[in-house]
Structures are given as structure tokens and as C-alpha cells.
Amino acid sequence: MKCFTLKYQKSIFKKQACFLLLVVAFFNGLVSWSQINSTNPTFNALPQTDFYDYRGTNAVSTMLGTALINGDYANPEFGYYYGIGYKKSLIPHINVNLTFNKFNLIDKGVFKDGFISIDFNAEILAFPHERFSPFGFIGGGVHASNYFESAVGKAQAGLGIEYVIYESFIFRLFGEYNEVFEPELTDVTVQTENVVYWRIAGGFNFYFGGKKKKAKLLNATSTIIKTNPIPTDK
């Protein structure tokens, strides 16, 4: 029994380590990509403020899609998934968000159970000043059965794309990997590894706020230009 437990713990550790390394590598690549493709403003140049026109400093998010359990299951099926969240932009490239999610995980003929998750993520937006942008996120949260009869910790990471349909109104598509740190999923199914499932969804962001931030940036730049005028030829 001790030997089995040790092997199980080693297996879990290896999976978590690989997952963490992949996420770190992804975020390093996305940050580098963002830096390379961003315009570096020169001294006395106007700052980029398109982010505050297209998006904003706060947003309400909605999600609708499907969830699929991953692993050694005979007949996994797609279940429904929907969610709602709040997003706060720290800087144009980075935001933090909190989401409430409701979804079903199904193994046909074995179980069809409803779950809830509350997730906290840090997100990187590659091109915040453009209409189209890829994004990536990573975070942790709580995975619970309906009515919170039981709850365990989880981690998640995902990739997606978004497009500004109209100012402050954004359409998004994303895929998300979730790992629950508990081998027991249901009353009838006991796993020897952590539970893993995927969520794929589309949705909308409704942004608000940011006009004052934009005005502050432009006013600060105007002050710098006035106090440091560009020399002219005499």
C-alpha cells in the first residue's frame, strides 16, 4: 500500500511539474511576443491610448460553451458550461479576473454530475491597443459539487483570441485546461490521478471605465512637451 501511495504521489508531482513548466514557457513566449510587436513610444511622442477606446479598465465577462472530462473514461461526453466574471486591468497588457462557472462532467452510463468552480486568473493580452488580440491566462480556484457539498482546490490555464466588435464590446473564444487536486470525482468513480477536464467556450466582455486614465496620460504627455519643447532650427 505504501509503495502504491508513493508511486501515485510521484505521478501527481510529475504531472504538476510538467504542467507548470509548460505554462511558464507559454507566458514567457507571450510576453516576448507582446514586447516585440508593441510600439515603443519615443520621447515626446503621444502614448498609446487605443486600449481605453477599444476596451477599458473594468469588464463584465460572460461565457457559454462545453466541458469534457479527460482521462481513462469509457464514454466521456460533452456537457454544458456557462459562467460570468469580473475583470480588472492593471495595465493594458495585464489584468486579473474572478469568474463563477457552472458545468456538467459526463461519462455516459456511469455518471452525469454538475459542478461549480470559482476561478481567479492573471491574464496577458498580447495586443491591447488593437482590435484583434490573442491572450493567455493562468490561475487557481475552488472546484465544488453542486450546492458546495464538497470542495477542493484546482489550477487552470488557457489560450484564446478576442476581437473588438464595437468600442467596449468584445467577442472571445478560448480553451481551458483544468486540473482538480483530488483523486475522487464522484461517489461511483475513484481515480488514481488528479481529475483533469477541458472547457471550451465563447463569450463577451463588456468594458467600462478608463476615460479618466486616458485623459491623465494625454495631459501628462502634453505637460512634458510644454516643459521640454522640441528645438527648432534658427
Q: Which domain CATH number covers 144?
A: 2.40.160.20
Angle among Cα 50, 55, 59 to the nearest 5 degrees reads 160
| Alpha carbon distance 202, 133 (integer Å) | 15
Determine whether 141 is exposed, middle or buried from the number of CB atoms within 10 Å of its CB (0-12, 13-18, 19+). buried
Residue 228 lies in a domain: no
Q: Is the pLDDT assigned to residue 19 strictly greater than 50? A: yes
User: So what's the pLDDT on residue 50?
Assistant: 92
Residue 162 lies in a domain: yes
Q: Is the pLDDT assigned to residue 10 strictly greater than 60? A: no
Residue 110 lies in a domain: yes
Determine whether 111 is exposed, middle or buried from the number of CB atoms within 10 Å of its CB (0-12, 13-18, 19+). middle
List all residues 6 or more positions away from 210 whose beta carbon is below 8 Å from its beta carbon.
51, 52, 55, 56, 57, 58, 89
Residue 12 lies in a domain: no
Q: Report yes or no: 54 and 129 within 8 Å, Cβ to Cβ.
A: yes
| Alpha carbon distance 93, 91 (integer Å) | 6
User: So what's the pLDDT on residue 211?
Assistant: 83
- Per the structure, the count of domains in the chain is 1
User: So what's the pLDDT on residue 105?
Assistant: 94
